[in-house]
Amino acid sequence: MSRRLGLGAFAAGLLAAVLSWLVRATTPLSDLDVPNADLLLSTGLSAAAVALVAYGVYRFLAAFLVARIADRRRAHDVRNVLRLGVGGVALVGVLGAFTDQWLGVLVSFGVIGFAVTFALQQPILSFIGWFYILVSRPYAVGDRVNIGSVSGDVAEVGFLVTTLWETGGPLASNQPSGRTVTVPNSLVLSSEVVNYGALFDRVWTEVPVQVSYETDLPFVRQLLLDVADEEVGDDMDAAMERYRDRLRESPLDLDVADGPTVNVAQEESWVVFRLRVLVPPTRAQRVKNRLYERVLDRLGDHPDRVSFPVSRNR
């Protein structure tokens, strides 16, 4: 469909160009009570021809190139570059058709661009930020990120703003709130950007469990590891292999665990076990919910070895 639409626009543009040439080549339109009617009609047809041909080229390239890119993030970037490139050429062509001074249009662009730089500093910085995002890729469509004080999943990276599907916000859990947030691209040049999936496709998360000091602590620790192995063991083993491969490509010298781990901390009236596992960034809360349910069920099956804190400080 996109290719047919592009070919149709391209053909219409060529027809408009032919009509413009015929108007210029034939007798002036003296029957119309409009000064220079033939020149105005020819100029309008020329501008329409440029716009239609440019649109046809864009649609054809989008169908030929973007549709063949399996990675949706890369396809999004290629589509934006096509829009910018073809749109810029079309704008110069249309203005050149109206003024009939192609070189003058280009020179005017330079003068006008220098003049508006001071008036449009933020949009220009945002456009530079978009180019930086395109080249350095601190994030891409589909990533879960924190940009400044905003957290969300990247839905679109435009020329001036990045659109996020907000996570958290008024919700206590780090899950989609249903709201969208637009962030100027200039923020990537002046603020911190946290990408949950930049290293690879998993992040570490912790599931805290509080028990009393009278609990059989080694038993609880092993129970947590068994539950984690049953719930996410196979997925985490495969993820750890990718994690180690990624670390080998980096200059970092880090030791990584072979599977889930448990950290223990003392509090005033209870002991906190923190079960640490690898999870997909966008499904962390769901995995934690499943782990909580299974851990509490298993702990409840052993009231003789496990007790929970009842202090008001809890």
Locate the domains of the chain by residue range: 1-100, 122-198, 203-301
Q: Does 191 score more than 60 pLDDT?
A: yes
Can you tell me the mean pLDDT for 298-312? 82
Q: Which amino acid, residue 275?
A: L
What is the pLDDT confidence band of residue 314, given thresholds at 50, 70 and 90?
A: very low
Give per-residue pLDDT as tens, 203-254: 888 999 999 888 899 999 999 999 999 888 888 888 888 888 777 777 667 7
- Contact between 260 and 277 under an 8 Å Cβ cutoff? The reply is yes
pLDDT score for 106: 52
Can you tell me the mean pLDDT for 4-29? 60
Strands 261-266 and 161-167: unpaired
Q: Does 61 score more than 60 pLDDT?
A: yes
Question: What is the DSSP code (8-state) at residue 65?
Answer: T
For residues 306 and 311, the model is more confident at 306
For 122-198, CATH number out of 2.30.30.60, 3.40.50.11310, 3.30.450.40, 3.40.605.10 equals 2.30.30.60
Can you tell me the mean pLDDT for 18-40? 56
Instruction: Please give the Cα distance from 178 to 165 (Å, whole number).
Output: 7
Give per-residue pLDDT as tens, 94-143: 666 666 554 555 555 555 555 555 556 788 888 888 888 888 888 888 88
Q: Does 10 score more than 70 pLDDT?
A: no
Question: In the sheet that 193-195 helps form, which strands lie side by side, from edge to edge?
Answer: 176-184, 161-167, 150-157, 144-147, 193-195
The secondary structure of 125-148 as a DSSP string is HHHHHHHHHHHH-S--TT-EEEET
Query: Which residues touch 111 (CB under 8 Å, ≥6 apart)?
Result: none
What's the whole-number average pLDDT of the chain?
76
What is the pLDDT confidence band of residue 163, given thresholds at 50, 70 and 90?
A: very high
Give per-residue pLDDT as tens, 269-298: 889 999 999 888 888 888 999 999 999 999
CA dihedral 15, 21, 24, 29 (to 10 degrees): -20
The winner for highest mean pLDDT among 75-84, 195-204, 291-300 is 291-300
Q: Does 47 score more than 80 pLDDT?
A: no
Where is average pLDDT lowest: 35-44, 51-60, 74-83, 188-197? Answer: 35-44
| pLDDT over 70 percentage in the chain | 65
CATH class assigned to 203-301:
alpha beta
Query: Which residues touch 167 (CB under 8 Å, ≥6 apart)?
Result: 144, 151, 152, 153, 174, 175, 176, 177
Residue recorded with tokens 């990276």: 157
H or E segment and range at residue 177: strand 176-184
Where is average pLDDT lowest: 6-20, 127-141, 166-180, 221-235? Answer: 6-20
Q: Does 17 score more than 70 pLDDT?
A: no
